[in-house]
Structure 1
Amino acid sequence: MVRSMVTEIEAKVIEAKKAAITLASVSTDIKDRALEEMANALDINRQAILSANMRDLEVAEKLQRKGELSQAMVDRLKISDNKIDGMIAGIRDVIKLEDPAGRTLSALELDNGLELYQVSCPIGLIGVIFESRPDVVPQIMSLCLKSGNSTIFKGGSEALNSNRTIFDLLVEAIERSEGVPKGAFQLMETREEVMDVLALDAYIDLLIPRGSNAFVKFIKENTKIPVLGHADGVCHVYVDDEADLAKAYTICFDAKVQYAAVCNAMETLLIHEKVAERFLPKMAQMLESAGVELRCDKGSFAILEHIDFIENLVHAVEEDWSTEYNDLILSIKLVSSIEEAIEHINTYGSHHTDGIVTENQKKKKKFSDLIDSSSVMINASTRFADGFRYGKGAEVGISTNKIHARGPVGMEGLMIYKYVLLGNGEKVADYVGPSARNFTHRKLDKLLSDVMMEK
């Protein structure tokens, strides 16, 4: 029984791997037509999507009441008309993006008639393993299709109906567009399939996990496949002593409250002690009105403990500084300098997204230079760290890695490159020994696609 399941999974993966070879060479026009079909399918079938999501939500909310599923997971699971609008907009933004496949990145003459081209190409077969968020399916499928990558999706059981409905609608739309190979996109649904997917390093070229800290850590620790992503989203905002406090109130409120259950929400607020007495009471009142629990260090607690309207106030403990709450909880700490703020962020943060509020130009530069994070915000909310907001159409995820791709990752994170050498019978033996020919290594202003058409 187990063996037949593994064989079935392998068959799906192998089919997608083979389709990836053909998909890599599909023209931009064909891909864009398929993307438009995908967007139309979501628009026309809104009620089917919402009905499927309602079935998932009924089960999820029961599990949440039993303590078996977090509120953050339930929030991420919810689909609304607005969310469907966002899915559609994301797909149509991908249509507008330049096709990244087959672009000449560099051209070099090695010798007369011997030319080397570095050309962008898809990674191949992408594995996407995710919890809750059904909107991951159209986001990543659209980016993978446009970039020429096949994709294996494995969603969580809590979103089973939503994922299946959206996936089927999108694949049917793609198959109506002649020229896209069948089998390029696959969906896996059982819990057992996760471990099987993690073991298929012979076929899957890159894994993108989307979910909780524990989930992403589990993926990273149990596969040989390269993983693009981040485990934690411990994001900070530092309010400097030279901050415009009017800006600080709106930035900090948005960073925490606009949507608390996401990885780019602020989890720790750092405040320069010189402005704390002026800034913190009003900021705390705003957060209190939104239901935020405040976990304060000694200095901030002392400022707030005698204020009548502040009720959700507790003492912070050491682990708060490195905790991603994904909830209406915020840790607060006073610092004596920008240097202390930077040190705290680089020590306790997750290198995801961190911001400063200041009017001092030198401090803006110092913060951006020294903060070791994938996104640094100057006088703006951390919530802007998002592929759609960064103009990428959508995102495959946010990476805190320092190789290949970093920050909100769009199609560039799904691309790699190859070298193509055009020659005319040249051999290495002519370039070694006493009478060796010399390499010219001259940069060329040519595109490989144009050269190949000429030949």
Structure 2
Amino acid sequence: MTKRDTTNQVEQAQTAALRLANVDAADRDAALGAIADAIRDNSDAILEANREDVAEAETMLADGEYTQALVDRLKLDDAKLESIAGMVESVAEQDDPLGETLEARELDAGLELYKLSVPIGVVATIFESRPDALVQIAALALKSGNAVILKGGSEARESNRVLYETILEATADLPDGWATLIEAHEEVDRLLELDDMVDLVMPRGSSEFVSYIQNNTQIPVLGHTEGLCHVYVDDAADLEMAEDIALDAKVQYPAVCNAVETLLVHENVADAFLPAVVERYREEGVELRGDETTREYVEVDPVTDDDWSTEYGDLELSITVVEDLYAAVSHINTYGSKHTESIVTEDADHAETFMTGVDAASVFHNASTRFADGFRYGLGAEVGISTGKIHARGPVGLEGLTTYKYYLEGDGQLVATYAGEDAVPFTHESFDGEWTPGHRTRQD
């Protein structure tokens, strides 16, 4: 595809974004319902395409080019498709994020300022092997009135194509170009040049990949990087609870970004806790590594310095014994990816110290890191989990795909009235009110 073709696609997305922003909420929700139904109706074709991708991926796995975690993320089945369809319906059930009056302020009598939520515009996403990510992102973009440009990984090419075609057929009444699928690396390079046309790019992948995107575009970047997550077992922990949480955080689904990669254990409970939890990990086939102190209590492989900063995405785990809560916080802030961290403790003060001291988008108390998810948070779905701090943080749902604009309702007021020696003072009084076109809502 030529540069001109990519530019034409983005221009079409720009036009579609302006039109989609004015599509009624009920029509956007109906379109989401149509997508969910179409996924169910087209399940045979989707699964057949997915089998092609998985077969190719397994060949690459045998050759040592892919990991088992990547293959696991790639696979779809009937239950997964039903989950995807249900996710789309849950997005439709969310409140409309557009047109909400965030603030209302009287500048002077008859001069009223409103701050309203609006779509970002054209959003580009570059994501990994999970084909369900394409549907999540498209559904959230539609609900929030954004045009979306989708670039999935080559390992999921066939699955993404059929899912994309299914979505387009189900939304034929929406503005042309509201969703666009691109596949070639050359198209991504051209896309990154179009900073005057694309409003936001959201890459999902390694820190190196996100850094590459940031260094090669002037488009604002909202990055979803690695999930190097930790569970810290405090000396005031319920150890039975801690075992369950530590196990769930690793083995429930190890291939995802909110799975735990390092377990930290307070030295006062290491003797009582480590043998039991290690036995349970081994029963689940987890490959374990530990520091020198950990290996005084259990027989595990030695850990390396690289392990502390590795996202395994598989049944592998590093363990360290720490002298106190502050050492745990220090370790996490040194090696973590600012994704999700958890403390297991019955001491409220310890929990507060940990939760305020750890620098991460999500920090949990007595809960598995696997809860860090847009659907589980009640957001319907997520376009990714942002580990940065600007615009959106943590699971990015509908709110993260909106911005705002100011509407000013006046009645012929002039700036000159508020300048000079005889200037009229502003009132600057906030009030409860919803913007209605052409009508002031302040009640005296």
> Under TM normalisation by the shorter chain, which class is it?
over 0.9
For 1:94-109, what aligned pairs fall within 5 Å after superposition? 94-109=91-106
Q: By how many angstroms is 1:450 displaced?
A: 6.8
Partner of 2:345: 358
Q: Which residue of 2 aligns with 1:410?
A: 397
- Counterpart Cα distance in 2 of 1:431 and 1:197: 46
Using the TM superposition, give the Cα deviation of residue 400 of structure 1 relative to its aligned residue in structure 2, in angstroms: 1.1
The answer on 1:75 being equivalent to 2:72 is: yes
TM-score, scaled to structure 1? 0.95
For residues 439 and 246 of structure 1, the distance between their equivalents in structure 2, rounded to whole angstroms, comes to 62
Deviations 1:377-404 (A, max 9, x none): 1100000000010001100100011111
Length, aligned pairs only: 442
Which of 308, 314, 324 is the equivalent residue of 1:337?
Answer: 324
Whether 2:280 is the aligned partner of 1:286: answer yes
1:449 match: secondary structure: coil
- Structure 2 Cα separation of the partners of residues 259 and 451 of structure 1: 53
The code of the aligned residue for 1:359 comes to E
Q: Is 1:244 aligned to 2:238, yes or no? A: yes
Task: Tell me, in whole angstroms, the C-alpha distance in 1 between the residues paired with 2:112 and 2:43.
Answer: 52
Q: State, as a whole percentage, how many aligned pairs show the same letter.
A: 51
1:161 to 158, 163, 174: 158
The answer (yes or no) to whether the contact 1:236–1:268 under 8 Å persists in 2 is yes
SS for the counterpart of 2:49 is: helix
Give the C-alpha shift of residue 453 in structure 1.
Answer: 9.2
Q: Partners of 1:452 and 1:13 in 2: how far apart?
A: 36
Counterpart contact for 2:103–2:114, Cα < 8 Å: yes
Q: Note if 1:226 corresponds to 2:213.
A: no
> Aligned letter for 1:240?
D
Q: Does 1:272 find its partner at 2:261?
A: no
Q: Which amino acid aligns with 1:357?
A: V
Q: How does 1:360-379 map to 2 (within 5 A)?
A: 360-379=347-366
Distance, in Å, in 2 between the alignment partners of 1:214 and 1:328 is: 23
- Post-superposition Cα deviations, 1:174-228, rounded to whole Å, max 9, x if no partner, equal 11xx4x2121111111232121122221111111112344333322232221111
Whether the 8 Å CA contact 2:205–2:224 is kept in 1: the answer is no
Q: Counterpart amino acid of 1:118?
A: K
SS at match of 1:362: helix
Checking the alignment, whether the CA contact within 8 Å between 2:110 and 2:440 is kept in structure 1 is no
2:31 aligns with 34
- Give the alignment of 1:33-432 within 5 angstroms: 33-175=30-172, 178=173, 180-305=174-299, 313-432=300-419
Structure-2 residue corresponding to 1:310: none
Contact 1:355–1:378 (CA under 8 A) maintained in structure 2:
yes
Q: How far is 1:325 from its partner?
A: 1.2
CA drift at 1:451: 5.8
Hey, what does 1:308 align to over in structure 2?
Answer: none
Secondary structure at 2:137's aligned position in 1? helix
Once the two structures are superposed, what CA deviation does each residue of 1:66-105 show, in whole Å capped at 9, x if it has no partner? 1222222211111111211111111111111100001100
What secondary structure does 2:312 align onto? Answer: coil
Equivalent pair of 2:225/2:386 in contact (CA under 8 Å): no
Q: Which residue of 2 aligns with 1:444?
A: 431
* Contact 1:217–1:231, Cα closer than 8 Å, also in 2: no
1:416-442 residue CA offsets vs partner (Å, 9 max, x unmatched): 000011111211111111110100001
Moved more, 420-429 or 106-115: 420-429
Structure 1 counterpart SS, 2:106: strand
Partners of 2:47 and 2:33 in 1: how far apart? 21
> What is the CA–CA distance in structure 1 between the aligned matches of 2:179 and 2:215, rounded to whole Å?
25
User: For residues 129-158 of structure 1, what are the alpha-carbon distances to aligned partners after superposition, in whole Å with 9 as ceiling and x for unaligned?
Assistant: 112111011101111111100000011111
Distance 1:152 1:258 in 2: 32
> Partner residue of 1:309?
none
Q: Is the 8 A contact 2:409 2:440 kept in 1?
A: no
C-alpha contact 2:409 2:438 (8 A) present in aligned 1: no
Q: How far is the alpha carbon of 1:50 from its aligned partner?
A: 0.4
Asked if structure 2 preserves the Cα contact closer than 8 Å seen for 1:36 and 1:92, the reply is: yes
Equivalent residue letter for 2:13: A
Give how far 1:169 is off: 0.3
SS at match of 1:171: helix
In structure 2, runs of 5+ residues without a counterpart are none
| Aligned equivalents of 2:341, 2:111: Cα separation in 1 | 48
Q: Could you tell me whether the CA contact under 8 Å between 1:234 and 1:267 is conserved in 2?
A: yes
Do the aligned residues in 2 keep the contact of 1:157 with 1:191 (CA within 8 Å)?
no
TM-score by length of 2: 0.97
C-alpha contact 2:265 2:321 (8 A) present in aligned 1: yes
- What is the rounded CA distance, in whole Å, between the counterparts of 2:292 and 2:85 in structure 1? 47
Are the equivalent residues in 1 in contact too, given 2:112–2:440 (CA < 8 A)? no
Distance 1:137 1:23 in 2: 19
Paired with 1:152 and 1:452, the residues of 2 have a C-alpha distance of 37
- 2:205–2:226: 8 Å Cα contact kept in structure 1? no
Secondary structure of 2:2's match? helix
8 A Cα contact 2:237 2:345, kept in partner? yes
Q: Distance in 1 between matches of 2:430 and 2:15?
A: 35
Which consecutive aligned stretches of 4+ in structure 1 deviate over 6 angstroms post-superposition?
none
